[in-house]
Structure 1
Amino acid sequence: MIRCFTLTVSSSLLLLVSGCGGAGDSSSIEPAVTTPQTNSRWTRGLFEDASLFKDRCLAPRSGTSSVTGEEYTDVAGDSMDEKLWLRSWTNNTYLWYDEVDDNDPTNFSTIQYFEQLKTDFRTDSGSFKDNFHFSQSTEEYLTRTQSSIAFGYGISWEFIQATAPRRIIVRYTEPGSPAAQAGLERGDELLALNDIDFVHTEDRDEIDAINQILFPTSAGAETKFTLRKVSGEQIDYQLSAQSVVISPVHNAKIINAEMGDIGYLQFNSHIQSAQSQLISAFELFNTSHIDALVLDMRYNGGGLLAMASQLAYMVTGSAQTDNLTFNQLTFNNKHPNTDPVTGRTLQPTRFYSREIDYDRNVFTNNSLPSLGLNRVYILTSGATCSASEALINGLRGIDIDVVLMGDTTCGKPYGFYPTDNCGTTYFTIQFQGSNQKGFGEYSDGFIPTPNPIFEADVQGCLVEDDFNHALGTVDEGMLNAALQHLQTGQCPVQTAAKSPVKRLSATDSLKIQTSSSILDAIIVENAINQPISEPSN
């Protein structure tokens, strides 16, 4: 059987390059048609510089950002200005710009126009090359990634079935959140919201109400959540949405096992606030002289590539990383030597050994702790994505023994720079990357297997996610499998992981659906921020 993978890399992710011929091979694409076809402001095949349209807005903002404190640069414009900026920006920076149809912007709303500014080509496996094209409110994006605040109940849900009969289960709750204070626990399954039958309803108005409750945008009245506990007991909880502080690192601890002291860490997101929490955890591991490390990244959808590099260094240390490449970015063929977003000459991302001031995007003089390990266990699922996969790939590139326990990762070897225009932040694939060995073709994900054959196969075991036990407890399925493997080198007897309902993407993440329509969405984690250059001193 022939298997095809694509190469990817990102500022915090990775990128895709077809490894086999076929429909996904951009070398077969004909040049864009340049026959003049015009309306008053658009000419097919002719692209003006994106700067001519940047920040020219139908509804310009004024004042300063409540998150960054920076003054808005918007000026009065119209929706065509916004669409022409998207068009030129895409043509300059999108990885597959020559596979984008140059449609008349007049026929679309701004968001609709952006949504179609991407390739429709597929890889040889039949998947779309670009599953990660999306947009988000700039204030919402900045609040989550820079201020570590999200609006909601503090629940991370596992969506098992999005159409009736629906099933969603609590993965974990954020400490101090409404859900945690009310007593919701991992494994609780949602049955009803305000007496609406969540599982079975097909009524459009009730579905709308469910989406408004699950994905709130403003504070509202208390909602009755009816959940079934792991024990089978059915309990009602009263919850109100509010701003919730996100804690990216949970359950940093030392597990005393037969084979020695094992460090365990649940890492959920590569966002700015994670840096200090990771450092504290690794200082604990260092002081305790751990014999092995288990990183639980089963729900880590990505984030900052620089932070993935820092984490890789903290696992391994300077002796195994000095002057080696963590990630090498490649942009489209218009920019073979220069990053089109930053203007910098392309250079490899190294293994970062120092703390970073992410507000100023510079290194500090503080060295990171490191464990000097040559093997690490990582717990994974289909929600392990982007920067998390870059960590796996970067470590494998310098021959660190990475062992995966769980399920196949999401397969996101792409990256982008989140770019604001007129209050919306746009995410369009702009680069690909590879590790020290030049490998990055894992668009179908990294696959845990006892007998690796292909390059994206990783030593490990398929293990089902266990919602009957709390994360970080030795009886929880994936962690228990890792501890067994550490001692015996063998996978547990039952190794069949459940398959996700569908591969999640940035534009089409977990949604509540009727049998025929998608009604709402959650924005998944993304990976980006401009690469950080090593200081000269």
Structure 2
Amino acid sequence: MFNKKRLSTAILIAFSGLAITACGGGGSLNKDSNKDSTSVVTQPPQTNEVTWVAGEFKASSTFKNQCDVPRTGNDPYNNNQPYPDTAGSTLTEKMWLRSWSDETYLWYDEITDKNPESFDTVAAYFAQLKTEQTTDSGAKKDNFHYSEPTEDFFKEAQSGVVSGYGINWSFIANTPPRVLRVAYLEDNSPAQNAGIQRGDTILTVDDVSIDTNTQAGIETLNSVLFSPAAGEAHNFKVRSNDGTEKSITITAGNIAKTPVQNVNTFVTQNNTRVGYMQFNSHISVAQEGLIDAVNKFKADQVDELVIDFRYNGGGLLALSSQLAYMVAGPANTDDFYYYQTIQNDKLPEEVPLPFINQEVDYSTFEGKQILLPDLNLSKVYVLSTSGTCSASEAFINGLKGIDVEVVLIGDTTCGKPYGFTPTHNCATTYYTIQFSGANYKGFGEYSDGLTPTPTPQFSADVKGCPIADDFDHQLGDTSEALLSTAIYHITNDSCPEVPQNVKQQPASYAPNNETGFSLEVPQSLYNTNMDLTWPSKGDIND
């Protein structure tokens, strides 16, 4: 077992930079009137004026916490300590973002240094502080650049609480004729209690058609579906899988996320004991649920394990490492590391992140000296979609790096071999890609995703079966397409020739409801808060 100091250091590697100490601004030098004026060298006047000079960067600490609208009072998420904000301007906030990006962004030399004052808002300036280069497939290299209110970050990071209905959406089509279906529900959420089910298709929202093409209609859909405030009640007309249409009014609330769901063990026809769990997000509150699930599987003496990552957009890299350890156990992980961080050339090389074998106090990022349970498996099945991102992909790649067999069932993953440390400034939490990562074998380039295939040929190929998501069955149902394909593979060591019970529909996923409708082109569907977060929340929180 790693000792407490070593484990704490390893975890902090993944969470480094959670706070940056602010430095005070410079003051003016005043002439001492008590001295002989003939013996005093007059200092040139100093100024605190902030100016932009292309290609010249002051330390980000020079501008840290200098806010256009400083917060007052005490921070409930930081032991009620006073907020660090001081009086500043939108320009000082932009200049902090500029220097911070130049110091930490993985591709800092691919950012075009534009005058911050030419942007109307801080958000608009931040949006372009990233690379515009593309991957080999032509996709944008950086799809994971975003921000959120700091209060929202802490609500979800510390307690898994978000505002909404408890619905996680899936776009089948984002432009008219639009198809928006329910991917899954949070346990005991307003939507679940109102009778919404996985697979339900949205027809209207507050009498606005899902196919509206007016600006006002688009704004209504985006507001009601993706950013409702707690206490707001809205009407949804939906079509269920059996064709029944129903009208349901749902009141949004503060939703406690349930990252581990549908934990079950079943026995196949050839008496193989298979464990299954749906794992939706690598957030700290998931640790207890994962431990409980592994203890159940251990008691049930499972022979095979299926982890449903299809809607898991990422989160805590350390939690991903813990899960990998619990699956593989010490026999497979001893003497290996889980993840090697790769930063820009301005930052030093980090010590690799180990397979973490003990419980973690995520309020301090220290080990509890309580050994995790393990299943000692040399193979694991993973269910995936294009919404499988970040820490979920690191789990797949990390186990492949130590020759634990991963069988991937579903669609190509989202392609996020990158991470970031959520960084707070002036009531906003920013996520910018700060590192990539590699497994024990040195592989980490899967920016176009990890692809399931019966006959892997390339490094980013993973043995498995490509198959589309199946919204006509509930998750955990052994007739559901991805899970039934995994069971078939467990029994036959091959993919079925004709996938059963599936409609081949492409889908895009918004694990944290950070997407919306567009009148022209769909917005990126990869934004997450944890996560898209590794060491966190987007992304990723990573």
Report the TM-score range of the alignment, normalised by the length of the smaller protein.
Answer: 0.7 to 0.9
Whether the 8 Å CA contact 2:325–2:355 is kept in 1: the answer is yes
Q: What does 1:349-388 align with in structure 2 at a 5 Å threshold?
A: 349-388=353-392
Equivalence for 2:66: 56
In structure 2, give the amino acid aligned to 1:427.
Answer: Y
In structure 1, give the amino acid aligned to 2:476.
Answer: G
In structure 1, how many angstroms separate the alpha carbons of the residues matched to 2:195 and 2:103? 50
In structure 2, how many angstroms separate the alpha carbons of the residues matched to 1:482 and 1:253? 15
Which has the higher relative contact order, 1 or 2, with Cα contacts under 8 A spaced 6 or more apart?
Answer: 1
Q: What does 1:196-215 align with in structure 2 at a 5 Å threshold?
A: 196-198=208-210, 200-215=211-226
Secondary structure at the aligned position of 1:310 is classed as: helix
**Deviations, residues 136-188 of structure 1 (Å, cap 9, x unaligned):** 11111111121110100000111111111111111111111110101111111
Q: Aligned to 2:535, which of 526, 529, 533?
A: 529
Whether the 8 Å CA contact 2:169–2:182 is kept in 1: the answer is yes
TM-superposed deviation, 1:69: 3.6
The alignment status of 1:292 with 2:304, answered yes or no, reads: yes
**Deviations, residues 60-117 of structure 1 (Å, cap 9, x unaligned):** 1122334444422111111111111111111111111111111111111211111111
Equivalence for 2:114: 103
Q: Aligned pair in 2 of structure 1 residues 494, 122: CA closer, same or farther (>3 Å)? A: same
Q: Aligned to 2:91, which of 70, 80, 85?
A: 80
Q: Aligned to 1:512, which of 494, 517, 539?
A: 517
In structure 1, give the amino acid aligned to 2:304.
Answer: A
TM-superposed deviation, 1:222: 2.3
In structure 2, how many angstroms separate the alpha carbons of the residues matched to 1:246 and 1:304? 15
Q: What does 1:319-358 align with in structure 2 at a 5 Å threshold?
A: 319-337=331-349, 346-358=350-362
**Deviations, residues 374-393 of structure 1 (Å, cap 9, x unaligned):** 00000000000000000000
In structure 2, how many angstroms separate the alpha carbons of the residues matched to 1:95 and 1:516? 28
Equivalence for 1:171: 183
In structure 2, how many angstroms separate the alpha carbons of the residues matched to 1:373 and 1:91? 43
**Deviations, residues 347-370 of structure 1 (Å, cap 9, x unaligned):** 010100000000011111110000
**Deviations, residues 1-37 of structure 1 (Å, cap 9, x unaligned):** xxxxxxxxx949xxxxxxxxxxxxxxxxxxxxxxxxx
**Deviations, residues 412-439 of structure 1 (Å, cap 9, x unaligned):** 0011111000011111111111000000
Equivalence for 2:245: 234
Secondary structure at the aligned position of 1:464 is classed as: coil
The RMSD of aligned alpha carbons is 2.2
Secondary structure at the aligned position of 2:433 is classed as: coil
| TM-score, structure 2 normalization | 0.86
The alignment status of 1:270 with 2:282, answered yes or no, reads: yes
| TM-score, structure 1 normalization | 0.86
Give the greater-gyration-radius structure (CA).
Answer: 2
**Deviations, residues 42-68 of structure 1 (Å, cap 9, x unaligned):** 111111111111011111112233444
**Deviations, residues 452-503 of structure 1 (Å, cap 9, x unaligned):** 0001110000112111111001111100000010001121223598574669
Farther off after superposition, 179-188 or 61-70: 61-70
Equivalence for 2:471: 467
Equivalence for 2:205: 193
In structure 2, how many angstroms separate the alpha carbons of the residues matched to 1:134 and 1:93? 15
Equivalence for 1:24: none
Whether the 8 Å CA contact 2:146–2:527 is kept in 1: the answer is no
Whether the 8 Å CA contact 1:395–1:402 is kept in 2: the answer is yes
In structure 1, give the amino acid aligned to 2:297.
Answer: F
Farther off after superposition, 256-265 or 353-362: 256-265
Whether the 8 Å CA contact 1:162–1:512 is kept in 2: the answer is yes
In structure 2, give the amino acid aligned to 1:418.
Answer: P
Q: Aligned pair in 2 of structure 1 residues 187, 501: CA closer, same or farther (>3 Å)? A: closer
Q: Aligned pair in 2 of structure 1 residues 305, 517: CA closer, same or farther (>3 Å)? A: closer
Secondary structure at the aligned position of 1:317 is classed as: helix
In structure 2, how many angstroms separate the alpha carbons of the residues matched to 1:149 and 1:308? 20
Secondary structure at the aligned position of 2:74 is classed as: coil
Equivalence for 2:31: none
The alignment status of 1:133 with 2:139, answered yes or no, reads: no
Q: Aligned to 2:292, which of 262, 273, 280?
A: 280
Whether the 8 Å CA contact 2:143–2:524 is kept in 1: the answer is no
Q: Aligned pair in 2 of structure 1 residues 370, 185: CA closer, same or farther (>3 Å)? A: same
Secondary structure at the aligned position of 1:150 is classed as: strand
In structure 1, how many angstroms separate the alpha carbons of the residues matched to 2:492 and 2:267? 16
TM-superposed deviation, 1:258: 2.3
The alignment status of 1:404 with 2:408, answered yes or no, reads: yes
Q: Aligned pair in 2 of structure 1 residues 355, 437: CA closer, same or farther (>3 Å)? A: same
Q: Aligned pair count?
A: 485
Whether the 8 Å CA contact 1:297–1:378 is kept in 2: the answer is yes
The alignment status of 1:250 with 2:254, answered yes or no, reads: no
In structure 1, how many angstroms separate the alpha carbons of the residues matched to 2:228 and 2:80? 23
